[in-house]
């Protein structure tokens, strides 16, 4: 299945796995669970699902799926608890979520770790240095031997890297365009770290100074694009157990 489905644990893949666990071998029944773009791969999907699974392997697959469902349930419970703990500061989340590459869950993690005002860091560079996304410079006798960044906080470096790569793939965003301009000079990895460094400074400004993120991409976003992005954010808030109306009310109150 993984040769056809990019995410076997997605809606389509998960439904097919349920049928397989129950002993279903008819490729027509299995392929009928395909959703969205996967429907265009019907022929490849039927070929990939043509094999049969022995009872012992169906049993093992069933156990693994139960483990995944248990982990998903725990993640959902943690998100619910996180939402309750952040209720007073939920208005900050939409300001963070406006940054390309930062979704609602990343915004919650940022808020939980840094606090609503990022009070632990007096300057943006301090936060970037703590994360470990500042460019390094090891010199001796005027000769630079390495530009490798300091190790910083390992967990936050990983999160910052994920946000950077997501921002790089955000169409018509300033960060994506900036990555494209830097890449010929310092290669892809160096350009990605530069984007991560910029995002860290923007996060600090939004939390510490209370400013709003303004997109200054290669082209102004159309009203239709902005509406689509707003609808996506509202769905993400609802999925995370946050009432979108509460978010909008607190955001308006903060701006007022």
Examine the domain organization and report whether 46 and 113 are in the same domain. Answer: no
| pLDDT score of 160 | 85
Residues 196 and 232 in one domain: yes
Per-residue model confidence as pLDDT tens digits over 143-160: 444 445 456 677 888 888
Same domain membership, residue 68 and residue 95: no
Which of 60, 78, 96 lies at the terminal end of a domain, its last residue? Answer: 78
- How far is Cα 46 from Cα 30, in angstroms, rounded to an integer? 8
Residue numbers in the chain where pLDDT is lower than 70? 134-152, 218-226, 244, 247-256
Q: Looking at the 3D structure of the chain, how many domains does it have?
A: 2
Tell me whether residue 2 is in a domain: no
Region of 217 please: left (phi>0), alpha (psi -120 to 50) or beta.
Answer: beta
| 102 plus 63 within the same structural domain | no
CA end-to-end distance (rounded Å), the chain? 52
Whether residue 234 sits in one domain with residue 119: yes
The domain in which residue 129 lies consists of 87-255
Do 239 and 167 reside in the same domain of the chain? Answer: yes
Q: How much is the pLDDT for 234?
A: 77
pLDDT given for residue 64 in this prediction: 94
Q: What is the pLDDT of residue 143?
A: 47
3 within domain boundaries: no
Say what the pLDDT of residue 147 is.
Answer: 47
Q: Does the residue 174 lie in any domain? A: yes
Cα–Cα distance for residue pair 184/195, rounded to 1 Å: 14
Same domain, 152 and 243: yes
Domain-terminating residue out of 51, 78, 105: 78
- Structural domain includes residue 127: yes
């Amino acid at each position: 299945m993984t040769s056809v489905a990019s995410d076997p644990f997605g809606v389509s893949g998960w439904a097919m796995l349920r049928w397989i666990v129950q002993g279903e071998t008819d490729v027509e029944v299995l392929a009928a669970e395909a959703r969205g773009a996967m429907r265009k791969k019907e022929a490849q999907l039927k070929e990939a699902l043509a094999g049969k699974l022995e009872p012992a392997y169906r049993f093992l697959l069933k156990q693994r799926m139960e483990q995944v469902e248990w982990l998903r349930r725990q993640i959902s419970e943690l998100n619910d608890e996180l939402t309750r703990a952040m209720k007073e500061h939920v208005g900050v989340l939409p300001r963070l979520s406006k940054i390309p590459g930062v979704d609602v869950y990343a915004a919650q993690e940022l808020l939980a770790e840094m606090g609503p005002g990022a009070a632990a860091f007096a300057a943006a560079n301090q936060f970037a240095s703590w994360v470990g996304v500042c460019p390094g410079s090891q010199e001796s006798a005027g000769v630079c031997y390495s530009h490798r960044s300091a190790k910083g906080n390992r967990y936050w470096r990983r999160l910052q890297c994920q946000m950077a790569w997501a921002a790089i793939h955000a169409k018509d965003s300033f960060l994506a365009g900036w990555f494209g301009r830097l890449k010929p000079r310092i290669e892809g990895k160096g350009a990605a770290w530069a984007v991560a460094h910029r995002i860290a400074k923007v996060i600090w400004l939004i939390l510490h100074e209370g400013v709003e993120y303004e997109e200054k991409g290669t082209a102004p976003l159309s009203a239709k694009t902005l509406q689509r992005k707003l609808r996506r954010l509202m769905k993400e808030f609802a999925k995370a157990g946050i009432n979108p109306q509460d978010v909008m009310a607190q955001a308006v109150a903060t701006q007022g």
